[in-house]
Structure formats: C-alpha cells, structure tokens
Amino acid sequence: MLKIIKKLFGLTLLISTVGIATYQSMVNIGAASNNEIVPKISN
Amino acid sequence: MQRTSIKPNPKRFVKEPTPPMSLKGLMLFFLPLAALPATVIAFGKGNLTGIFINGGGYALYLLAAILLRRGLHQEAEYSARRISRAPKWSFKFYAALLVMLATSWIAWLGAGHTMMVSVVFGAGALLGMYLTYGFDPRREKMIGGSHGYSADEVTDTITAAEQIIGHIERANQRINNTEFNNRILTICQDARDVLEIIEQDPGDIRRARKFLNVYLDGARKVSEGYASTHERMASDELEENFREILVTIEKVFKEQKQKLLENDFFDLDVQMEVLAAQLKREGVL
C-alpha cells in the first residue's frame, strides 16, 4: 500500500514539474514577440 | 487434513539474445512533449535562444529516457538472477540527474521562473524520478553458502558458460540432422541444469570448474567443427565419430549433473577423465 502511495506521489510530482515547466515554456515562447524571449509568463 | 503446499523454485534466469520490448519508462519520452512545439514555435519566430533552450531541454529529456530504460532493463536482469553483481553503471540515477537538470533549465530559461523556483522544479523532478522508478541496486546479490566465492566470480563463470552454450546452440542450427540436433539440445539442457545447481550452491563451482572450462568448451569445439565440416563434405565416418562423441558428452554431462546433486566428488573426476581421453583422441582437446 505504502509502495503504491509512494509511486503515485512520485508520478504526480514528476508529471507536474516536467509537464508544467515545458508547458509554461511553450506558452511563454508563443507569447513572446519575434527575436525576443520574455522573462516571465504573460498573464 | 492439513495441506502443505510446496513452492516451486523460480526458473533460472537465461539471458535472451533480444530482450522483449518493455513499456516501462516510455512515459519520459512523452511527458516533456510540450518542449517540441515550443521549439517549432521558436523556429517559426526565428528565436535562436528559444530553439536552444527548448530543443536542448527536450534532447536532455530524451537522453534521460534512454538511460532510464537501460537502467530498468539492467534492474530486471538483476532481479531475475539468483546471484548477481551490482550493476556497473547507475543508469537510473544518471537519468534522474538529467531530468533534474532539464527541468531546472526549462523552468528557468524557458518558462522564465526565478533561479530559486527553477531549482525547486528540478528538485521536485528528481524526487519524482526517485519515487517513481527508484535508483539502481547497489548491493551484490548472493545466496547463502557462497564458500568464499564472490558474486563477481560466480557471475563471471556462469556468464562464460552461458556464452559457450549459446555457441553450441548456434552451431546446432547449422547442422541438418535431427538426431544430432536433438542430442545437442539435450546436452545444452543438461549444461544449463548444471549451471542451475551451481547457482543454488556456488560452492559447487570448485567441482564443476573443469566441466565448465574444459569440457563444455570441448563440446563447443566438436559441434562447431562438425557444423563447418559437414557443410563442405559429408562422410559416414565423420558422422559416426560425431555421434560417438555426442553420446559420450551426453552421458558424461548427465552423470556430472547427477554427481553434483549427490555431492559425489570422486566419480565426477573419473567420468571427466573418460571424456577427456575421448576428446583428446578426436583431436578436440
């Protein structure tokens, strides 16, 4: 049981960190104007 | 009436030439997929920094996924063996480090988070990798009664013997004679049974070393020699000689197995000498 919880927690952590970082990077580059990269995600 | 159930011994691990495809670890190929359109968008906008950040990040993830799958395969082999040394390369650990690096890199330079937040992203990814896949096994696996042999010695001996059996089986595929094919298959099976006995009691290595180093290799030389000779010329005398050797090898291997099981030391050597004499006569040894 503990093993499953550990795995699920790990999976959630991995998906959220990697997924969010790459998704935000995609959104960020999409929002950036040509030849420029914005330092923060635009709201 | 109370029933007792006997748990059968697990099957001995035999390394397959082409391991079956496993789905484990494939997730890491798809999880950072958003970095791919980000790279394409960066291309479209002519944003060189964006291409470098997202493309480089995705490449790191791909490398991590490849290492992770290698580590998982290595771990599966380690778990399947009764005796095994710790894996030489910590592929799963390297994969986790790469995921941490790639996540921090993309969170900082791609998503635009502060350095501290990016470090937290990376640490989260590292922890996620550890909890999901774990790290590589570090301890050698040895069963009781090793009689002073290390897992390395036992593994090396067994791996070498398995390779020789593989050679014999490959030579067998080149022989077009059902009787010989069946005899060789039986010899290989007996040899594998001997390896199983050694794995269960590594102390038997001392007694079986001659068998593994000399006679198993003798059987390989005979099979390979016959396989290449009979392709060029067929002769009744050659066939008869080969049949005789196979019968002797088969008999001695079976006896070897039995003697190892019975811990009968003396008879084992006597039988081996008989086989050695015959192999010498045939010019194999």
Here the contacts of B66-69 (C-beta below 8 Å, separation 24 or greater) are B67/B91, B67/B92, B67/B94, B67/B95, B67/B98, B68/B25, B68/B28, B68/B92, B68/B95, B68/B129, B68/B133, B69/B22, B69/B24, B69/B25, B69/B26
User: Which distant-in-sequence residues (6+ apart) come within 8 Å of B168 by Cβ?
Assistant: B184, B187, B188, B191, B219, B220, B223, B224
The three-class DSSP label of residue B84 is strand
Å between B58 CA and nearest CA of chain A: 9
pLDDT of residue A20: 94
Is pTM beyond 0.80 here?
no
The pLDDT tens digits of the residues spanning A3-42 come to 899 999 999 999 999 999 999 999 998 887 554 555 555 5
Q: What is the pLDDT of residues B239-255, one digit of tens each?
A: 888 888 888 888 888 88
Of B42, B49, B107, the CB nearest to A21: B107
**pLDDT for residue B88:** 84
ipTM above 0.95, yes or no: no
Q: Would you give the distance in Å from CA B31 to the centre of its chain?
A: 30
- Looking at residue B111, its pLDDT comes to 92
Among B29, B39, B45, pick the best mutation site for testing chain A contact (most A Cβ within 10 A). Answer: B45
pLDDT attached to residue B8 = 47
Q: Which residues of A touch B (CB under 8 A)?
A: 6-7, 9-26, 28-30, 32-41
CB contact under 8 A, A10 and B131: yes
Cα R_g (chain B), whole angstroms = 27
pLDDT at position B137 is 86
pLDDT of residue B273: 63
B45 touches chain A (CB under 8 A): yes
What is the predicted pLDDT for the residue at B66?
95
How big is the CA angle at B267 (ends B261 and B271), to the nearest 5 degrees?
105
Nearest CB among A7, A15, A28 relative to B111 is that of: A28
Of B257, B109, B270, the residue nearest B101 (C-alpha)? B109
Q: What are the residue ranges in chain B where pLDDT is below 50?
A: 1-10, 17-18
